[in-house]
Structure 1
Amino acid sequence: MGHVCVAAVNVGRARSRALVVASLGTVLTLVAFTAPLATVNAVAAELDADVAGRTWMLSSMGVGLGATLLTAGALADDLGRRRLVVWGLLVLSAGSALSALAGSTGLFVASRVVQGVGGAAVVAASLGLVAHWYEPGPARARAAGVWGASVGGGITLGPLLSTFLERWLTWRDAYWVLVVGSLAVAAHGRLRLEENRSATPRGLDLAGAALLSASLTCLLAAMVEGRQGWTSTLVLGLAGAAVVTGLGFVAVEARSASAMVPLELFRAPRFVAATTAAFVTGAGIIAVMSYLPGFLGLALGVPATTTALVFVAWSGTSVVVALFARRLPARFTGRLQLAASLALVGVGQLALGGVGTGSSWGRLVPGLLVAGVASGVLNSALGREAVASVPDGRGAMGSGANNTARYVGSAVGVTVVSVVVAAVAAQPSGAPASDGVAGLVAGWNAAVLVTAAVSLVGSVVVLLCRERG
């Protein structure tokens, strides 16, 4: 009996350590992802970046994430989830150090791509750890809630950390904090976590991995460059390369015995629902929230420190709600949680519209709170459904696929928001030609309607993804 109790205690400790490393690693990744949102002007001024450079500063980590998440998930299941988390944190630390030392726009952008590659390994393997240690049911629901809260926590801390360090010290110090944090969590994971991997390794489809990375890199780069003009040779070439390599990926996966994502999963309603919800989350609420800090500063004249605090109304609320999402009744299935939370996110986004040139930041708080509540449930449900919608032992692959959809959706959504704002702002509005503020406000109101529609349509699509039989 004593041996059974000791074994149970040891398993409990191993679970707790895995969840701590998974959550802290995810927090660090999201801090790195969101840190430039509030300080891009200071970084761009010091590095003498032009408009295109500023765009790449904000988008480059997303390119690294989107291009490597699925590959990282496949590697984690086969080579070991602890190993990939530790490797990812070390790469994230190296990228953060390069960001802190960057003396040019090109080096800063390259360092952000490196951060994205490291973050991809961390995020994909982290959910794989959670899936391994927590069986389906209440225990996994609690763990998924903690992981979902870590997503919101990282999004909350990123702008706050970078803003206050930039104000009192320099913007570079936020990246040194990431270096120290990543090394500390990597050391803890290496020394305290037990290794685990899939009992039935599938092997890495090298051709598929290369084609997928090339396709997503070209696609994301085309969307970033396209904001400067959609008819340039570079943009058209990147878009064409994305299509060709994407079709090549599908062809290779259809014939591969070790497909990175078995194509039959796209006929499984639960997987389709989770993947759709992740894409819509990126294209809807994350896209418009990525634009919010810049809008508050440029259009409403809100100081950077206040902007970071306003941002917390959404992200901070999502952290609290994610921790309590496990208390939702069992009859409220994962699909229903995804659909309902996307619908409520859409309502929150609609409440962010109707802003005038004389509006204060307080006008946005009710909509941010509503969207924050919904995002908390959404993050928790996405973490759980990402691993529940794939075969046993492939949790990291499920995480990679789900988060790839989220970050690709974010890249698409940010591009759409930028295009809509620019197009509406360029239209005659009866205001003086020099009144750029009126144009930005009108563009924001239009963009919010578009992203709200994305969330609401996504909710309907997820709701229709019912299991047959």
Structure 2
Amino acid sequence: MSTTAGVTAPSAAAPPDASRSDSRTLFAVCAATLLVLMNYTAPVAVLPQTARGLGAGLTTQTWLINAITLGLAATLLVAGSLGDDFGRRRIFRAGLVLLAVGTVGSAVAPNAATFITARVVQGVASAAILAAGLGLLGHAFHTAQGRSHATARWASMLGAGIALGPLASAGLTSLSSWRWFYLILAALAVLLAALGGRLLTESRAGRVAHIDVPGVLTLGAGLALLLVAVTAGRSGWLRPGVLVPLVLGVLLLAAFVVVQARGRAPMLDLALFRRPDFRVATLGAFFTGLAALGPSTVLPTLVQQLIGVSALGAAGLAFVWAGSSFVVSNQMRHLGTRTTPTRQLALGFLLTAVGYLAMLGYADAHSWARTIPGLILAGAGSGLLNAALARLAVASVPADRVAMGSGANNTARYVGSALGVAGAVTIASSLLPAGQTAGFSAHGADAVLLIGGAVAVLGAAITLIRRRATAPVPVTG
């Protein structure tokens, strides 16, 4: 896949039955999603250089990657609910402006704490863009063919962004500094926010706008504390700094469930979990983050440190994985209606597992080329997962709650991703040979692949078991 293909994808043709307004919506949402994912993955290929520039140690390096996931996971459902009630275009454009602010903060950060704070802000902004953006698509496209096409295009931007983000940041780092990536992205976010006012039409649920304050506070704080505990757990799970936020996070999430069950206008309608397709979408998203996003996010750093590949070389390997994901997701706009999303999910998980197994031993062999066949297979699996989840997120909820459905689906995905990243770093840095006290090991890298593959197989098994109770995905509109 060429860089040009990744950049021009947002302007690709809309479904035959799409109006001009729908085509503009598809372009704006896809372009913004591309920016979000480029920003999300930008540090993974230049983590050593970024860490040196900010004076960050190994534990802090995990936060340099995971901070944006913290902001995403904690606010995706909130952003989706606000978009449905107060206007999806309004939340979408506000997210782009906030993304610009956060990326400028990363560009000028003098230390790791400032950079991490800015990345959390970017996560909050990304949550608004992803949840409201997919909600805008769900409102714009009503037919099965139109939705399959639009959500496949949206899903392909996930792969394109993951492909181009590390490549762009590594290229700018080799030319000048990693900070330039964030300055350029901030300018693009501001431009797209301005264009959004002309390209998008407002949509919202036909009911009185309401902010579920107890739900916002309990969910946001609970997820934040849970992810803090998981990320800090790599240095010991029995420390107070891990146990306290872990317990508090679980208690707050339990309180969130109670609040949603008793509230008059809950942010998340718990009755949706009675729908088999909504349960499959949520579980599938969680396992996608855990098995596909987590290990793949850490892989470029492992390749750099264990094999000695340059930042640009590591970005090239990430490009292979994400490029494969982009191509497969993009093709599902033609094939999506010919198979059920649950079958796509199961096949996507199995391809991910096979890809991981194919990469075993790459660090011991000291060969980056050993990873390429596995990366292509795992990337194809990710592409199937992304396309199926986007379709399920829109179709498994009522028409007036499409942004909330997107928020719930992506919350599960990025909670899984945060757990996957933290787990992969912990595993890769714990199986050290005698005499080595820090860093990563070849045995640890293989363990990451084996465990990631096992989790992917588990995801496929759960999907196939749930499929028996799942009716065909209805078209809501």
TM-score by length of 1: 0.93
Aligned residues of 2:163 and 2:320 also touching (Cα < 8 A): no
Asked if residue 271 in structure 1 is aligned to residue 272 in structure 2, the reply is: no
What's the C-alpha RMSD, in Å, of the aligned pairs? Answer: 1.9
Aligned residues of 1:49 and 1:105 also touching (Cα < 8 A): yes
Asked if residue 75 in structure 1 is aligned to residue 82 in structure 2, the reply is: yes
Aligned residues of 2:86 and 2:209 also touching (Cα < 8 A): no
Corresponding residue of 2:356: 349
Asked if residue 367 in structure 1 is aligned to residue 374 in structure 2, the reply is: yes
Asked if residue 443 in structure 1 is aligned to residue 416 in structure 2, the reply is: no
Corresponding residue of 1:452: 453
Return the alpha-carbon distance in structure 2 between the equivalents of residues 377 and 200 of structure 1.
35
Q: Secondary structure at the match of 1:394?
A: helix
Aligned residues of 2:138 and 2:147 also touching (Cα < 8 A): yes
Corresponding residue of 1:287: 294
Deviation string for 1:269-327 (max 9, x for gaps)? 10111111111111001111111111111111111111111111110111111111122
What is the deviation of 1:263?
1.3
What is the deviation of 1:18?
0.7
Corresponding residue of 1:3: none
Corresponding residue of 2:120: 113
Deviation string for 1:110-165 (max 9, x for gaps)? 11111011010000001001100011411111111110111111111110111000
Aligned mate of 1:49, from 56, 67, 80: 56
Return the alpha-carbon distance in structure 2 between the equivalents of residues 434 and 416 of structure 1.
20
Query: Which ranges in structure 2 are unaligned for 5 or more consecutive residues?
Result: 1-14, 472-477
Asked if residue 386 in structure 1 is aligned to residue 358 in structure 2, the reply is: no
Asked if residue 122 in structure 1 is aligned to residue 129 in structure 2, the reply is: yes
Aligned length: 456
Cα 1:264–1:165 change in 2 (3 A) is: same
Cα 1:65–1:334 change in 2 (3 A) is: same
Corresponding residue of 2:159: 152
Corresponding residue of 1:4: none
Cα 1:436–1:176 change in 2 (3 A) is: closer
Asked if residue 332 in structure 1 is aligned to residue 339 in structure 2, the reply is: yes
Deviation string for 1:422-468 (max 9, x for gaps)? 33225x5xxxx35989x711111111111111111111111122346
Cα 1:28–1:273 change in 2 (3 A) is: same
Aligned residues of 1:285 and 1:349 also touching (Cα < 8 A): no
Cα 1:10–1:291 change in 2 (3 A) is: closer
Mean Cα displacement is larger for which, 408-417 or 61-70? 408-417
Deviation string for 1:363-408 (max 9, x for gaps)? 0111111111221121111111111111112111011000000100
Asked if residue 408 in structure 1 is aligned to residue 409 in structure 2, the reply is: no
Q: Secondary structure at the match of 2:238?
A: coil
Aligned residues of 1:78 and 1:197 also touching (Cα < 8 A): yes
Asked if residue 93 in structure 1 is aligned to residue 100 in structure 2, the reply is: yes
Aligned residues of 2:28 and 2:199 also touching (Cα < 8 A): no
- Runs of 4 or more consecutive aligned structure 1 residues displaced over 4 Å after TM superposition: 8-11, 434-437
Q: Which one-letter code corresponds to 1:270 in the other structure? A: D
Return the alpha-carbon distance in structure 1 between the equivalents of residues 401 and 441 of structure 2.
45
Aligned mate of 2:26, from 16, 19, 23: 19
Return the alpha-carbon distance in structure 1 between the equivalents of residues 62 and 382 of structure 2.
26
Q: Which one-letter code corresponds to 2:458 in the other structure? A: V
Return the alpha-carbon distance in structure 2 between the equivalents of residues 11 and 376 of structure 1.
24
Corresponding residue of 2:45: 38
Return the alpha-carbon distance in structure 1 between the equivalents of residues 143 and 216 of structure 2.
29
Query: Which ranges in structure 1 are unaligned for 5 or more consecutive residues?
Result: 1-7
Q: Which one-letter code corresponds to 1:56 in the other structure? A: W
TM-score by length of 2: 0.92
